Amino acid sequence: MNAFEKEEELTRELLEIIETQENVTQRGLADKLNVALGLTNSYLKRCVNKGFIKVKQVPANRYLYYLTPKGFAEKSRLSAKYLSTSFDFYRRASESIVTLYNQCLAKGWKRIVLCGESELAEIAYIRSQELEIHVLGLWDQKRYKSEYLGLPVWKKLEDIVAHDACLVTNVSEVANTYDEMKKKISDERILIPTVLGFRRPA
C-alpha cells in the first residue's frame, strides 16, 4: 500500500467512525484509527477543508463531528474502492499462497508456520484447509495474545515447534520480517508470497 492508498484508507475509516459513533472525540478517533493524536487532528482539518465534515462546539469545550452530504458521498466512494481492492487482493493472495503450498507438497513439506498477523495470514490459513498443509501456528513478535485462529503464537523464533517451512504473512514489514527469519531459518525454507512484491537480496 503506497502513501496515497494509506491516506485514502485512513480517510475512509475516519468518515465511517464519525458516521457511526456519536460524541466521538479526537482522542477517541485516534484510538480507533490507531494513529497519533496529531495525525488525527491533521486528517480532521483536511476533511473539514474539503467539506466532508462539519464541526460543532458544545459545552465543556468539546466538539461534535458530523458528515456532510459531500462527506457521505466520499465515504461511499472510498468504501466501494476499498471493497474492490480487497477482493483483488484476496484473489492474488490466494493464488500466490496456493502456488507456494503446491511447491511445498512437491518437496514433502506439510508443516507450515505463518510469520506475521495480517489478512494474508488468515487467507493462508483458510487455503491450507483445502490442501494437505498443516499450519502449526503463528510467529509474531508484536502479538500479545497467545492464540491466533485457535493456533499457538510464538514471539521468539527459537520457540517455534519443528516445522518444514515458514510463510511470510507480515504485509507491512516484509523486509524486516525476512531479515529476522534468516537469522534462524535457512533461506530455502522461507516462503514469500509474490503478492507481497518483495525480492530477496541477491
Domains of the chain: 3-67 (1.10.10.10), 90-196 (3.40.50.720)
Q: How many CA atoms lie within 13 A of 57 on its CB side?
A: 3
Return the pLDDT at 140: 92
Nearest 5°: phi and psi at 132? -85, 50
Residue ranges of the chain whose pLDDT lies below 50: none
Residue 78 to residue 153: CA distance in whole angstroms: 34
Instruction: Name, in order, each residue with C-beta under 8 angstroms of 107's C-beta and a sequence gap of 6 or more.
Output: 164
- Report pTM: 0.66
Between the two ends of the chain, the Cα-to-Cα distance in Å is: 24
Contact between residue 133 and residue 108 where contact means Cβ atoms under 8 Å apart: no
53 phi/psi in degrees, rounded to 5: -130, 145
Instruction: Please report the pLDDT score of residue 197 as a whole number.
Output: 86
pLDDT at res. 1: 58
